[in-house]
Amino acid sequence: MSENKSANDVKASRSISMGDIDLTFKYEMSEVPGFEKLRLCFQCGSCTADCPIARFSELYHPRKLMRMTQLGMKNRVIGSEALWLCAACFTCVDHCPQGVDIAGVIRALRNIAVREGVVPQVFRELTNNILTTGYAYKIPEMRHKKRAERGLPDLPKANTGDVAKLFDVLAVSKFAKKEK
């Protein structure tokens, strides 16, 4: 994904029409973990000012994402590449004078995006790896062999049956990358 292109797209579509706005969104979401205090955000911009990613990105400004979410610009937020640029360092969460869980709002928005099918490939792969191996990364056979050679204990085995059951209950399995 090219950041500059997306940033230009956002600039080109600055105007907002009422059709972009879902007036009930903030009420629907008020019970979702992370969203509890979103309505208290008064746009001071501490989150963006202290964000290490925002120092190097034209596109990612947490303050903007908070405002757009408050206004109910659901589709614009869900479809934005910016949503996936938060590194979850939690600096903004510690610094917000209103106690808004900014990283929690972003996480909850990502969860909605996933359910609507908008998810970067890397998250499908991570989900699939956990589902099939228990580990977030596919650990090559070579690594296992090398552990033995250097006297490290075998890696603990995963209970993939349990993980699959849990993922089924939560309907997460379907977001995993389809095996070819």
Partner 1 sequence: MKYLLFLGCAVPYRMPSYEVSARKVLERLGVELEEMPEFNCCGLPIDSVDHDAMMVLAARNLCLAEQKGLDILTLCPGCAGTLRKVNKSLSEDKKLKEHINAILKEIGMQFEGGKIRVLHLIQALSEDVGFDKIKEAVVKPLTDLQVTEHNGCHILRPAKYIGFDDPENPVILKKLIEATGAKCLDYMYETDCCGAPIVGVNDKIPLHLAGDKLRNIKAVNAQALITVCPFCHMMFDINQPRIERLLNEKFAIPVLHYPQLLGLAMGIDPKELSLDELRVDATNITNTK
Smallest distance from the beta carbon of 164 to partner 1, in angstroms? 10
CA angle 17, 23, 26 (to 5 degrees): 125
Of the pair 75, 129, the CB lying nearest partner 1 is at 129
Pick the stretch among 12-20, 21-29, 36-44, 148-156 that binds partner 1 (CB under 8 A). Answer: 148-156
Compute the distance between CA of residue 46 and CA of residue 1 in angstroms, rounded to an integer. 28
Of the pair 20, 124, the CB lying nearest partner 1 is at 124
Smallest distance from the beta carbon of 9 to partner 1, in angstroms? 15
- CA count, 13 A, side-chain hemisphere, 32: 18
C-alpha 122, offset from chain centre? 11
The DSSP call for residue 84 is: G
CA angle 79, 83, 84 (to 5 degrees): 110
Q: Residue numbers of the site for partner 1 (CB under 8 A)?
A: 1, 3, 33-34, 52-53, 55-57, 60, 81, 84-91, 93-94, 101, 103, 107-108, 110-111, 114, 119-120, 122-123, 126-127, 130, 134-137, 139, 143, 146-147, 150, 152-153, 155-159, 162-163, 165-167, 169-170, 172, 175
